[in-house]
Amino acid sequence: MAEPAATTQTPVRRAALDALGLTAAAPAGAQVTLRALADVCRLNLRLDAGIGAAVAALAAAGWTLPTTAGGVAKAADGRRALWLGPDEWLLLAPLDAREAMLSALGSALAGHHHALVDLTDNYAGIEIAGRPAADVLAKGCPLDLDERAFPSGRVAQSLLGKADMILERRPDGADGVPVYQVTVRRSFARYAWDWLADGALEFGLAVAV
Amino acid sequence: MMLIECPWCGPRDQSEFRCGGEAHIVRPTDSEGMSDAEWADYVFMRKNPKGIHHERWFHAHGCRRWFNMTRDTVSDRILAVYKVGETSPVGDGAAAEAGAEASK
């Protein structure tokens, strides 16, 4: 029996939306742009009762945790902490910061009762931008997306169609158009993408890769 | 469509929530000395009132926290929303039940 050919074992990362084979498209008059977000590191952080000391330890390490419902705290280098619950946060960062973040957070939280879980590949991220972006989302999301109720820098967990969604309103785009970041479970990536693309059809859909 | 005030997230659509049935049911401490009838009462028997009812609700598609609600089953009006371990501000004996829950 022949020996199997020697192969170089390198880990292969596939973002959840890679399977869709998306190609960039910008038809004339498109008002909504969808973008598949790869290379986002996502960590879930849970703390329990003595939250205060752990929050202070994290603040010293450069992570301010939002403590009001729906809050988003920004840190340096594009890192953000999203409020998910009274003792739960989602920490976002560029993917190449992942190892450094895990070790930095781990040492900052040493001695504090916590759970820090790497959920990078558990989620898929989609960015939807454009003046009618809220109208597209509102077709399947019961949240109040009015400017007064959901301005930039807010996050909420809700539904998109039948999929659980973490919806974050990002800073407006350069030309003042609203930008939202949709985070869904990886297995709902295609569902959420198709759902948003279908909802955006009437406004003209552009795809950025 | 009904708006439910999650104690953590604020008013959200009913579709984000799941009802967890009657609230303030205290797990028996003397479980070894209980008769089958008492077990059946604890496990299966629930109030089904016409009027004020204390219920557990779960913000399933939001913050995933459990909380309590006092609801009028006739009008479907939500009379109060309060956190687990707290006592309903509305009510017909809920204080005693909640007290029993807290003391266990």
On whether any CB of chain B is under 8 Å from the CB of A84, the answer is yes
CATH class belonging to A20-38+123-208 = alpha beta
What ipTM goes with this model?
0.85
pLDDT at residue number A7: 54
CATH 3.40.50.720 fits domain B3-103: no
How far apart are alpha carbons A185 and A193 in whole angstroms? 12
Domain ranges of chain A: 20-38+123-208, 42-120
How far apart are alpha carbons A154 and A143 in whole angstroms? 12
**Higher-confidence residue: A21 or B84?**
B84
Cβ neighbours of B10 in A, within 8 Å: 69
pLDDT at residue number A51: 78
Are B65 and A143 within 8 A, CB to CB? no
On whether any CB of chain B is under 8 Å from the CB of A70, the answer is yes
On whether any CB of chain B is under 8 Å from the CB of A66, the answer is no
pLDDT digits (tens, 9 = 90+) for B51-96: 999 999 999 999 999 999 999 999 999 999 999 999 999 976 554 4
In A38-113, the DSSP E strands lie at 40-47, 72-74, 80-85, 88-94
* pLDDT above 50 (res A14): yes
pLDDT at residue number A13: 65
pLDDT at residue number A61: 82
On whether any CB of chain B is under 8 Å from the CB of A182, the answer is no
How far apart are alpha carbons A94 and B8 in whole angstroms? 29
| Interface test with chain B among A87, A144, A154, by most B beta carbons within 10 Å | A144
| Interface test with chain B among A67, A89, A143, A165, by most B beta carbons within 10 Å | A143
Query: What are residue A84's DSSP bridge partners?
Result: none
The model's confidence at residue A12, banded by pLDDT at 50, 70 and 90, is low
Mean pLDDT for A112-123 is 92
* pLDDT above 70 (res B99): no
CATH 3.40.50.2300 fits domain A42-120: no
Query: What are residue B7's DSSP bridge partners?
Result: none
Mean pLDDT for A104-113 is 91
**A20-38+123-208 against A42-120: fold identical:** no
Domain ranges of chain B: 3-103
The model's confidence at residue A57, banded by pLDDT at 50, 70 and 90, is confident
* pLDDT above 80 (res A207): yes
Q: What one-character DSSP code corresponds to residue A201?
A: G
